[in-house]
Amino acid sequence: MAASAAATGGRQLLLVLSALGLLASGAPQPPNIVLMLMDDMGWGDLGVYGEPSRETPNLDRMAAEGMLFPNFYSANPLCSPSRAALLTGRLPIRNGFYTSNAHARNAYTPQEIMGGIPNSEHLLPELLKKAGYTNKIVGKWHLGHRPQFHPLKHGFDEWFGSPNCHFGPYDNKVKPNIPVYRDWEMVGRFYEEFPINLKTGEANLTQLYLQEALDFIRTQHARQSPFFLYWAIDATHAPVYASRPFLGTSLRGRYGDAVREIDDSVGKILSLLQNLGISKNTFVFFTSDNGAALVSAPKQGGSNGPFLCGKQTTFEGGMREPAIAWWPGHIAAGQVSHQLGSIMDLFTTSLSLAGLKPPSDRVIDGLDLLPNMLQGHTMDRPIFYYRGNTLMAVTLGQYKAHFWTWTNSWEEFRQGIDFCPGQNVSGVTTHTQEEHTELPLIFHLGRDPGERFPLSFASDEYQDVLSRMTQVVQRHQKSLVPGQPQLNVCSQAVMNWAPPGCEKLGKCLTPPESVPEKCSWPH
């Protein structure tokens, strides 16, 4: 059986390599890779997913010319952990982008968090260098703002953007101190040299990010060098912004204006690839870091379609993402994949495109999607939904089991903070942390995408699914070795400053009760 499996795997590899044109003598350079990661864009924000305004013609055309993934997931319902997962191919609980200081907590604000991407993690751009790639990040990094976490120390050759998102100010009293970098040089700050008008929503950032992408593509094409472009813009994160030509043009208000500008930018990038004659040698993937932030809705938040809740939660609305793959001449046009996909798969798939293997000295959670994209092979795999250091839910096939439910606290909810506006489901959208580990709430997502009608505990269907889910979770937890938690709160630091004695991360990566008083652990 082992020999048969090896032979089957070998044939699949040959098929993929043949499709890539890498078996021919004098094989061409590996394909360019463009990963487009949006910020808080929801599953339902694209016309191709059913948004009724139909204001995303370029993204809809991208899907018509490529492959749509309706079952594609983030690795976390928050920005920074999902970005760490994309670039490492590993769950946040493994790469350290989680918290252990409060049950199921999610948190990243630069004034508190002193952690970042560990040196022990192998990031995608570092590995792509082995295949001769030139790598650029445009936009939001969000994997640590201290000097040792700078993206140019982790495989990127160029950067234009910010360590953090543009939202702020932190305490609603002063301007946010959020720098913008070109490579190693700080070239300004949001709201100052890079203005964002909170009253009108006008900002030129998306146009700047678009130009950076276009210039990089032209330069690398002229050099005949394979490139990796990580286009991680943040226009759909509140406070939402758009440039003047797009303001007031959408039927959906300011949020729609931002989506229309993103759509226009995607169209310009794809057109450039076609005009340069390199579209058949460039793999492009579009997705989002987490679901739409319904806490900012209706004016500053997007749509999660039929799914429950949004960002910050492990319901479908928080983690199911829009996803489109585009690679003319390789991915057949007009395809819809029902593969359960993950943002972590972009790591493994990109390495496969470059002819590289993932690191063998650690667990990699991402799958190589090329067999699915090129030959239609569907692979069984679970999707794990973590919030902080807690496994909240698991999806296997069409079934999803919740072991914990929680939206946000009653205290926050009474203050008007609501991650599930208008979507109360009794016993499901709970404002206390409810444990269901003995009898998880199980939903069939095909029949019930809104997670409103859990299966009956007494049904044969429930018992069969529970048995399979239990085995999957036990295998996962048995082999799980958590990384050192980088998102534990260290201090009320402002950007690069920390109290004396807190400069080294190890000083504060401990439970709250044992943190030195000078590290000022907030409660």
> How far is 294 from 309, CA to CA, in rounded Å?
7
> How far is 65 from 42, CA to CA, in rounded Å?
21
How are strands ordered across the β-sheet holding 390-396?
A: 382-387, 390-396, 399-402, 441-444
Count of CA atoms in the C-beta half-sphere (13 A) of 320? 26
Output the CA–CA distances (angstroms, integers) from residue 228 to 220, 313, 352, 494, in the order listed: 10, 31, 13, 32
Place of tokens 């899907």: 63
Single-letter code of the amino acid located at 242: A
Backbone angles phi, psi at 390, to 5 degrees: -110, 130
> How far is 327 from 33, CA to CA, in rounded Å?
10
Tokens for 462?
């429930």
Q: Is 345 marked as a binding-site residue? A: no
Nearest to 354 by CA among 156, 131, 136: 131
Radius of gyration of the chain (CA): 22
DSSP annotation of 98 reads: S
Percentages of the chain per state (helix, strand, coil), in multiples of 5 = 30, 15, 50
Q: Is 448 marked as a binding-site residue? A: no
> How far is 277 from 355, CA to CA, in rounded Å?
22
Q: Is 289 marked as a binding-site residue? A: yes
**What DSSP string runs through 146-209?**
SGGG-GGGTT-SEEEEESS-S---SSSSS----EEEETTEEEEEBTTTB---TTT-B--HHHHH
Give the number of residues written for the chain. 523
Tokens for 384?
């794990």
DSSP annotation of 203 reads: -
Sign of the alpha-carbon torsion through 415, 417, 422, 426: negative
Q: Is 420 marked as a binding-site residue? A: no
> How far is 313 from 332, CA to CA, in rounded Å?
34
Single-letter code of the amino acid located at 65: E
Nearest to 67 by CA among 355, 365, 339, 277: 339
> How far is 387 from 405, CA to CA, in rounded Å?
10
Q: Is 234 marked as a binding-site residue? A: no
In sequence order, the β-bridge partners of residue 139 are: 161, 232
The b-or-e profile of 1-14 (16+ CB within 10 A means b, else e) is eeeeeeeeeeebee
Strands 341-342, 399-402: pairing kind = unpaired
Do the Cβ atoms of 95 and 482 come closer than 8 Å? no
Q: Which residues are catalytic?
A: 79, 142
Q: Which residues contribute to the annotated binding site? A: 39-40, 79, 289-290
Q: What residues are designated binding site for Ca(2+)?
A: 39-40, 79, 289-290
